[in-house]
Structure 1
Amino acid sequence: MRASGRALLWTGVLVGLVACGGPQPPEPGDAAAADGAPASKLDISLPSVTVSGDESAQVVEAWTPPEVPIDDDTDRAALRRQAEAALRRGDLYEDAEAAAPIYLALVRSDGDDRLARDGLRRTTAAVLAAADRALDAAAIDPQSGALAQAVALAAVARALATDDAKVRELQARVELARRAAALVHAGREDLRAGVLDGSGALGWFQEALALSPGHRDARQGLAAVESALIDRAQSAADAVEFDAAGRWLDQAASVRGDGAGAVADARARIEAQRARNIAGLRDAALRDLLRPNGLRDARVRLAEVLRIAHPGDPVAANLRERIDLVTYYGPFRPGQVFTDALADGSRGPQMVVVPHGGFRMGAEETDPLASDAEKPAHYVRFNRGFAMSLTEVTVAEFGRFVASAGARPRATRRGNSLVYDERSGNFVRRSGVDWRSGYDGRPAGPGDPVLHVSVRDAEAYAAWLSEQTGRHYRLPSEAEFEYAMRAGNPGRYPWGDAGVPPPDSGNFTGGNDMSPSGRTWNNAFVGYGDGYWGVAPAGRFKPNAWGLHDMAGNVAEWVADCWHASYKRAPADGAAWFNPGCRARVVRGGSWAGSPAQTRAAFRLRVDSDVTSARIGFRVVRGI
């Protein structure tokens, strides 16, 4: 479309070329010249039109000199004086009393009139000088009308001295000025029409400057294009379309080198506007997060922030993090440790927030120690974080439940439980053992993990804790337990694939451990020792990457799931796989008396729900 417009522009110029020319010579055979003088007296080369097909030819409009009658009775001397006086006044060509028409008529009527020819030469020089002044004036003020005067003077000069080099040079300058003026005019038309790019106003003004460097109107046109582009950028910013505003500003910056200041100011202004919009949306979103059910509105505002913000904007990143925290963790943060108050003013167990995410649960086919019950390995994802107690529930914590609820745990009612017998090196049932007892039947310390509790005792404790705190406590699901035990590690063991635990990582069956009577383990981690034969106080060893202690050792732990012989059709969302009325339950994690194979992250054990033992305890989780 724009190329067609340019073609029309240059077609108009060429039409002018064909129409141009000076006074035409008489046709051969004419009886008289154009001024009525005999043809035999003409001794001057008159201008003529030649159409060469060269579109670069520089031709201006023709000038037809006013008629000055001359015959045999004419007082030529008087005419020369009249012409000289007109030349001095600067009356060069406008009418029959001006210098150029008179001198031209005198020379045409008598080519030997030396004085007339000299006057014509001086008049031509005056016309050239006047044209130079007009071109200079037009360059200073293209709207002054000086260009039209220069065009007329160039036509006169061409009629007076067609082959003069200075006249040809003037013609070229006038034509260049006319072309630049036409380009500027086209640029203004497109500027008014709102066509600003390189195929519109910008292109026209740039072409004009290429022809005439420093052309005032072309430079002003570029400034106007730049200003219009800045206005468009501001309008886009006002419509909260900051990417579009940036594109308009980039175009404005490319218009002219000396416009960098205006564009930079506009860019700073629009960026400040962007920042205000983002800050307002952030503040509104944070208020939304404080309202019940305000999360959806906050996410809508976040989407708008991300749309208008630059990639990597710190305010947008912070808002996304805040919304993600509420989405996945409520009022908490991953890794945060907290306790809930009980009804009597004491505190519940310490809890740590486990991050949301996913993992591959179960044993891989490449694990030679895996059983069919640990397969198939499958992907589980938690769409929200949860809180898990830092350690196993301790004797002191369980004792508060028994005292407050008047509970009678299973071993207490039954009157016995399984304990380790140092004399035989075996596990035996012993009377008088319950939750207050240690692994060997002797009284347990208040900070030891509670033992000799059934899964229903553990569930009763979680229910009591929920009543006391007003929060929902429960046993972890099997998936939650393995996810938290791995803490992001996909290896065979919770610490990776190495066959020996890292130092001080837990209470395991180590080859360096020894019982009070000097016994050692037949099946143990070679070269490892933790200093304990039996249960260690809760939290004695280093936590894992998520801040949890004793997940893989010390005591095995009850989880909420019923026993299933494999993971076929197991939940993929991490929920407990529970069948009402089931008696066979799942125990997870290694213990102080478990083999290395039982310390693997995927190991799971089938245990009757009524079993109490010196190797099984539990911990709790809570929703957030």
Structure 2
Amino acid sequence: MGGSLRTTGQLICMALLAAVTCGACTPQAPGTAARNQERGVTSAPAPPAEAGPALPTQAEPERATVEATPLPVWMPSVPELTPEMVDKARRQADAALAQGHLYDSAEAAVPLYLAVLAVKPRDARARRGLDKARQLLRSQAMELMARPDDQRQALAEAAERVSVAIALAPEGKAEQALQAQIQQARRVLALNRAGEAALRRDQLGEAGGGALGSFRAALALAPEDSRALQGIAAVQSGLIRRAELAATRADFDAAAAWLDKAGKVRGGPTLVDAQARIEAMRAAQLAALRDGGLRDLSSPQGLKAAREKLEQALRIAPPGDPTVAILRQRIDLVAHYGSFRPGQVFSDALQGGGRGPQMIVVPHGGFQMGAGDAEPGASDAERPQHYVRFDRGFALSITEVTVAEFGRFVEAAKARPRATRRGHSVVYDERSGNFVRRSGVDWRSDYNGAPAKPGNPVMHVSVRDAEAYAAWLSEQTGRYYRLPSEAEFEYALRAGTSGRYPWGNAGVPPPLSGNFTGSEDVSPSGRHWNNAFVGYGDGFWGAAPTASFQPNGWGLHDMAGNLSEWVADCWHASYRRAPADGAAWYNPGCRQRVIRGGNWANAPEQTRAAWRQSQDSDVTSARIGFRLVRGI
């Protein structure tokens, strides 16, 4: 049109324009006023009947309301035409319509068609163009209303388009229906936003109002509104979180109350899963109290501490809980029948048949643990020497756990020990005379990777494998089995002695007292040890079958030789602040653990009674095995 068209600020009301009125109103999004003024869109106040449902607040949860936002009124900026300009304006309007340029300037399709009709009120082409524009405006509005993201802006833009369509057809039912839908959508959006704000403040509304009240009000207007449904789900999740927090504090009455409130919000699998999780938390806490009580019954803390754990368990357990019953029965048994004789040998029956390892009762008493300041070969890790006392005896495996005993656990529990999963372990290589990693070696293997005999001590096991075996044995027997503490191991190894070596201070072991590195030992290919007890030989290169040598003074075999053994303690670089009651010095999550006792390939200095070494908890080797303690 060039300079031939002039825009005016007035409505041109000839013919069709006489029907363009401003009686309909739609919400206007914040921040759009300036842009709407440019497009000819202004706001009109909403009638009182448009007021929305109650919105909860902290002060007056039942009185706050969601006000209907005023709907925009489209005020077209229509070009002023002369009859000679109509054809060109009509073509420009058609082009603008094809490009989707509908209303937002004087060069848009709708203002141009209106300008044509102002000159030629019966122009059919202009009327058809306006009809198409109305259809496009309604279609765009519906698409905007369905847009899930940035709903406030989308609804504002939809309202703007509907205001243009209503200006063209004030009595149009489709336009009026869209207008009502937008108004309701804005109410629903306001309620959802209010609910989400309440959620952020943790005002769930379980007692009325709050987030739950807002979301339910939104659903009353739009029962399928996904945002409100998600809000309801979030309220339930918030109540479930409160239940789980209560459960972590062992307040299962409060947890049940919160779950009850969550169930009143809605049912479904989320609630069922939450109930199962909280019951699992209760079961885990009860199991921990039971296991702690069982440990107490075989430790210096004794009966009093176990009874305290029973009281805690009774507070959180449902009636008739079997875990509590087990702990109560064990406390009663220990209180009345828990005495053993020092040196008593016994084994426990297994549920699956057979019996567990043979155990011997170690007497209570005390000893000086660690190395003295002047002990040759000692390290700072073995100091300071300190007194440890056991007020209660304990039962210790007479021998190291055998391949057969460990194999029964692997088969029954379907266990996959570390070396089996990893596919390798450390073995002695006869050709090089070194210890090397070899594939295909696990708990079934001997020191050189060959198949081990059933009576040999099991090796190539990690400390976690040993603990898993102890846990299985506890389940099988109903008794509490565990790795010995470092103090228990040294106490039993010394067996009442206080010398540098388990047999005393002599530099050479007594004949056939154990499987040590002797100068008389010879490997299958004729190798000898470079660092060994001179003049000693035991006839074995590698681990010997258990109980092949004389027991120590308390009836225990191979405490000082054959295999080094895992104990329960985490590694600490010295004995400063070590427990004085013989308990394991354990830090949850530690990876460096302790091995004690000499083995068939140790240097003589490593056969001393105080010798200790750090090992990663995942290590498996032909030089490390284990034995167990059982509480009495």
TMscore range, shorter length: 0.3 to 0.5
Q: Which entry has the higher C-alpha Rg, 1 or 2?
A: 1
Q: With structure 1 as the length reference, what TM-score do the two structures score?
A: 0.48
TM-score (ref. length: structure 2): 0.47
